[in-house]
A and B are shown apart, each in its own frame.
Chain A
Protein backbone atom coordinates (compact mmCIF):
# COMPACT_ATOMS: atom_id res chain seq x y z
CA UNK A 1 0.00 0.00 0.00
CA UNK A 2 1.34 3.40 -1.00
CA UNK A 3 1.81 5.70 1.98
CA UNK A 4 3.06 9.27 2.18
CA UNK A 5 3.51 10.70 5.66
CA UNK A 6 4.44 14.34 6.09
CA UNK A 7 6.04 15.85 9.18
CA UNK A 8 7.85 18.99 10.29
CA UNK A 9 5.03 21.51 10.23
CA UNK A 10 4.35 23.93 13.03
CA UNK A 11 4.08 27.55 14.11
CA UNK A 12 6.88 29.87 12.96
CA UNK A 13 7.35 33.62 12.97
CA UNK A 14 7.54 35.62 9.74
CA UNK A 15 11.06 35.43 8.36
CA UNK A 16 11.67 32.08 9.99
CA UNK A 17 12.45 28.67 8.54
CA UNK A 18 11.00 25.16 8.59
CA UNK A 19 11.96 21.87 6.98
CA UNK A 20 9.17 19.55 5.95
CA UNK A 21 9.75 15.85 5.44
CA UNK A 22 7.73 13.19 3.67
CA UNK A 23 8.32 9.50 4.34
CA UNK A 24 7.28 7.31 1.43
CA UNK A 25 6.54 3.59 1.51
CA UNK A 26 4.79 0.92 -0.51
CA UNK A 27 6.46 1.75 -3.84
CA UNK A 28 9.90 2.15 -5.41
CA UNK A 29 10.45 5.75 -4.42
CA UNK A 30 13.37 6.51 -6.75
CA UNK A 31 11.23 5.67 -9.79
CA UNK A 32 8.69 8.41 -9.14
CA UNK A 33 8.71 12.17 -9.50
CA UNK A 34 7.27 13.98 -6.50
CA UNK A 35 5.49 17.24 -5.69
CA UNK A 36 4.64 19.52 -2.83
CA UNK A 37 1.18 21.09 -3.02
CA UNK A 38 -0.32 23.41 -0.41
CA UNK A 39 -3.78 24.56 0.60
CA UNK A 40 -4.38 27.67 2.67
CA UNK A 41 -7.27 27.46 5.17
CA UNK A 42 -10.55 27.54 3.29
CA UNK A 43 -8.79 28.09 -0.03
CA UNK A 44 -7.92 26.10 -3.12
CA UNK A 45 -4.94 23.98 -4.03
CA UNK A 46 -1.65 25.60 -5.00
CA UNK A 47 1.24 23.69 -6.54
CA UNK A 48 4.56 24.49 -4.83
CA UNK A 49 7.38 22.35 -6.21
CA UNK A 50 8.27 19.30 -8.35
CA UNK A 51 11.34 17.09 -8.28
CA UNK A 52 12.18 14.24 -10.62
CA UNK A 53 13.19 10.81 -9.39
CA UNK A 54 16.89 11.47 -9.94
CA UNK A 55 16.65 15.08 -8.67
CA UNK A 56 17.86 16.37 -12.04
CA UNK A 57 14.65 18.26 -12.85
CA UNK A 58 13.28 20.69 -10.28
CA UNK A 59 10.51 23.24 -10.67
CA UNK A 60 9.14 25.88 -8.29
CA UNK A 61 6.10 28.12 -8.22
CA UNK A 62 6.99 31.79 -8.62
CA UNK A 63 5.53 32.46 -5.17
CA UNK A 64 8.23 30.36 -3.46
CA UNK A 65 11.17 30.55 -5.88
CA UNK A 66 14.31 31.65 -4.12
CA UNK A 67 12.89 30.90 -0.66
CA UNK A 68 12.01 27.18 -0.80
CA UNK A 69 14.26 24.27 -1.76
CA UNK A 70 13.00 20.80 -2.59
CA UNK A 71 15.23 17.74 -2.26
CA UNK A 72 14.99 13.99 -1.84
CA UNK A 73 17.01 11.12 -0.44
CA UNK A 74 16.16 7.99 -2.40
CA UNK A 75 18.15 5.81 -0.01
CA UNK A 76 15.86 6.95 2.80
CA UNK A 77 12.67 7.06 0.70
CA UNK A 78 12.20 10.63 1.78
CA UNK A 79 11.19 13.95 0.24
CA UNK A 80 12.00 17.31 1.81
CA UNK A 81 11.01 20.95 1.54
CA UNK A 82 13.28 23.53 3.12
CA UNK A 83 11.29 26.72 3.63
CA UNK A 84 13.13 29.96 4.41
CA UNK A 85 12.02 33.59 4.74
CA UNK A 86 8.52 32.44 5.55
CA UNK A 87 5.63 34.86 5.08
CA UNK A 88 2.10 35.02 6.43
CA UNK A 89 0.82 33.89 3.04
CA UNK A 90 2.78 30.63 3.31
CA UNK A 91 0.34 29.49 6.01
CA UNK A 92 -1.23 26.33 4.63
CA UNK A 93 -1.57 22.58 4.83
CA UNK A 94 1.36 21.15 2.87
CA UNK A 95 0.81 17.91 0.97
CA UNK A 96 3.46 15.54 -0.29
CA UNK A 97 2.18 14.06 -3.56
CA UNK A 98 3.34 11.38 -6.02
CA UNK A 99 3.40 11.95 -9.77
CA UNK A 100 1.74 8.95 -11.41
CA UNK A 101 3.96 9.15 -14.48
CA UNK A 102 1.21 10.13 -16.90
CA UNK A 103 0.79 13.77 -17.80
CA UNK A 104 2.19 15.02 -14.48
CA UNK A 105 -0.96 13.87 -12.68
CA UNK A 106 -0.82 13.13 -8.96
CA UNK A 107 -2.14 9.73 -7.95
CA UNK A 108 -1.28 9.63 -4.24
CA UNK A 109 -1.37 12.36 -1.60
CA UNK A 110 -0.32 12.40 2.02
CA UNK A 111 -2.62 13.76 4.71
CA UNK A 112 -0.62 16.96 4.95
CA UNK A 113 1.33 18.86 7.59
CA UNK A 114 0.14 22.26 8.82
CA UNK A 115 2.45 25.26 8.57
CA UNK A 116 1.37 28.43 10.32
CA UNK A 117 3.34 31.65 9.91
CA UNK A 118 2.37 34.20 12.50
CA UNK A 119 3.91 36.58 15.00
Chain B
Protein backbone atom coordinates (compact mmCIF):
# COMPACT_ATOMS: atom_id res chain seq x y z
CA UNK B 1 0.00 0.00 0.00
CA UNK B 2 2.46 2.67 -1.10
CA UNK B 3 1.11 6.20 -1.00
CA UNK B 4 0.27 7.88 -4.27
CA UNK B 5 2.92 10.38 -5.36
CA UNK B 6 2.07 14.08 -5.25
CA UNK B 7 4.39 17.09 -5.40
CA UNK B 8 5.08 18.40 -1.92
CA UNK B 9 4.25 21.95 -2.93
CA UNK B 10 2.98 24.07 -5.78
CA UNK B 11 2.41 27.79 -6.02
CA UNK B 12 0.75 30.31 -8.26
CA UNK B 13 -0.38 33.90 -8.39
CA UNK B 14 -3.99 35.00 -8.14
CA UNK B 15 -5.79 34.45 -11.42
CA UNK B 16 -3.32 31.86 -12.67
CA UNK B 17 -3.95 28.14 -13.13
CA UNK B 18 -2.07 25.34 -11.42
CA UNK B 19 -2.13 21.58 -11.76
CA UNK B 20 -1.39 19.02 -9.04
CA UNK B 21 -0.42 15.55 -10.19
CA UNK B 22 -1.12 12.26 -8.43
CA UNK B 23 0.83 9.26 -9.68
CA UNK B 24 0.04 5.68 -8.81
CA UNK B 25 0.11 2.36 -10.59
CA UNK B 26 -2.12 0.19 -12.74
CA UNK B 27 -3.36 -1.37 -9.49
CA UNK B 28 -4.88 1.84 -8.25
CA UNK B 29 -5.12 5.12 -10.22
CA UNK B 30 -4.65 3.46 -13.61
CA UNK B 31 -7.00 0.60 -12.94
CA UNK B 32 -10.11 2.37 -11.67
CA UNK B 33 -12.00 5.61 -12.14
CA UNK B 34 -12.26 5.90 -8.37
CA UNK B 35 -9.96 8.87 -7.85
CA UNK B 36 -11.05 11.64 -5.50
CA UNK B 37 -9.48 14.94 -4.48
CA UNK B 38 -9.78 16.70 -1.11
CA UNK B 39 -8.94 20.20 0.09
CA UNK B 40 -7.86 20.69 3.69
CA UNK B 41 -7.36 24.03 5.37
CA UNK B 42 -5.25 24.11 8.58
CA UNK B 43 -7.12 22.73 11.56
CA UNK B 44 -10.13 21.76 9.47
CA UNK B 45 -11.56 18.49 8.20
CA UNK B 46 -10.97 17.68 4.52
CA UNK B 47 -13.51 18.75 1.89
CA UNK B 48 -14.40 16.72 -1.19
CA UNK B 49 -13.53 18.62 -4.38
CA UNK B 50 -13.59 15.95 -7.11
CA UNK B 51 -14.92 12.38 -7.23
CA UNK B 52 -14.69 9.64 -9.85
CA UNK B 53 -11.72 11.40 -11.51
CA UNK B 54 -13.54 14.42 -12.90
CA UNK B 55 -16.89 14.96 -11.21
CA UNK B 56 -17.53 18.00 -9.04
CA UNK B 57 -19.87 17.77 -6.05
CA UNK B 58 -22.64 20.30 -5.80
CA UNK B 59 -21.32 23.54 -4.36
CA UNK B 60 -17.72 23.16 -5.52
CA UNK B 61 -16.53 25.91 -7.82
CA UNK B 62 -16.15 25.06 -11.51
CA UNK B 63 -12.63 26.46 -11.21
CA UNK B 64 -11.72 22.99 -9.94
CA UNK B 65 -11.41 20.19 -12.48
CA UNK B 66 -9.98 16.69 -12.54
CA UNK B 67 -8.60 14.35 -15.18
CA UNK B 68 -6.62 11.16 -15.57
CA UNK B 69 -4.13 9.76 -18.06
CA UNK B 70 -2.75 6.31 -17.48
CA UNK B 71 -1.52 6.00 -13.91
CA UNK B 72 -1.56 9.74 -13.22
CA UNK B 73 -4.54 11.79 -12.10
CA UNK B 74 -4.50 15.58 -12.03
CA UNK B 75 -6.34 18.37 -10.27
CA UNK B 76 -6.40 21.73 -12.01
CA UNK B 77 -7.42 24.94 -10.30
CA UNK B 78 -8.03 27.86 -12.62
CA UNK B 79 -8.39 31.51 -11.68
CA UNK B 80 -6.49 31.00 -8.42
CA UNK B 81 -7.91 32.78 -5.39
CA UNK B 82 -6.42 33.42 -1.97
CA UNK B 83 -8.90 31.03 -0.35
CA UNK B 84 -7.59 28.17 -2.50
CA UNK B 85 -4.42 28.12 -0.39
CA UNK B 86 -4.62 24.77 1.40
CA UNK B 87 -3.36 21.20 1.36
CA UNK B 88 -4.71 18.94 -1.38
CA UNK B 89 -4.88 15.14 -1.28
CA UNK B 90 -5.74 12.60 -3.92
CA UNK B 91 -6.99 9.11 -3.14
CA UNK B 92 -7.77 5.99 -5.10
CA UNK B 93 -9.38 2.60 -4.66
CA UNK B 94 -6.88 -0.23 -5.13
CA UNK B 95 -6.94 -3.80 -6.45
CA UNK B 96 -6.33 -5.00 -2.88
CA UNK B 97 -9.75 -3.63 -1.87
CA UNK B 98 -8.13 -0.84 0.08
CA UNK B 99 -7.80 2.88 -0.42
CA UNK B 100 -4.60 4.88 -0.68
CA UNK B 101 -4.03 8.59 -0.25
CA UNK B 102 -1.35 10.72 -1.82
CA UNK B 103 1.18 12.37 0.45
CA UNK B 104 -0.49 15.74 0.00
CA UNK B 105 0.41 18.95 -1.81
CA UNK B 106 0.65 22.35 -0.16
CA UNK B 107 -0.72 25.03 -2.46
CA UNK B 108 0.59 28.54 -1.88
CA UNK B 109 -1.13 31.49 -3.51
CA UNK B 110 1.56 34.12 -3.95
Contact = CB atoms under 8 A, between A and B. Distances in A.
Contacts of B97: 59
- Of B1, B45, B87, B100, chain A has the most CB atoms within 10 Å of the CB of B45
A103 B73 CA distance: 14
B64 interface: no
Contacts of B98: 47, 59-62
Interface residues of B, number: 29
Contacts of B48: 100, 105-107
A106 B46 contact: yes
Interface string A43-57: 011110010000000
A17 B28 CA distance: 32
A63 B101 CA distance: 14
B33 A103 contact: yes
Query: What does DSSP make chain B's interface, helix, strand, loop or mixed?
Result: strand
A106 B40 CA distance: 13
Contact of B45 (A100, A103, A111): A111
Interface in B10-58: 33-36, 38, 40, 45-48, 51-53, 55, 57
Contact of A100 (B33, B57, B99, B100): B57
A104 B35 CA distance: 8
A45 B90 CA distance: 10
Given A104-B36, A106-B36, A45 B51 contact: no
Contact of B104 (A45, A60, A103): A45
Interface in A15-35: 35
A25 to B, nearest CB: 16
A100 B3 contact: no
Given A45-B40, A103-B52, A109-B47, 4 more contacts: A45-B101, A47-B99, A61-B1, A103-B36
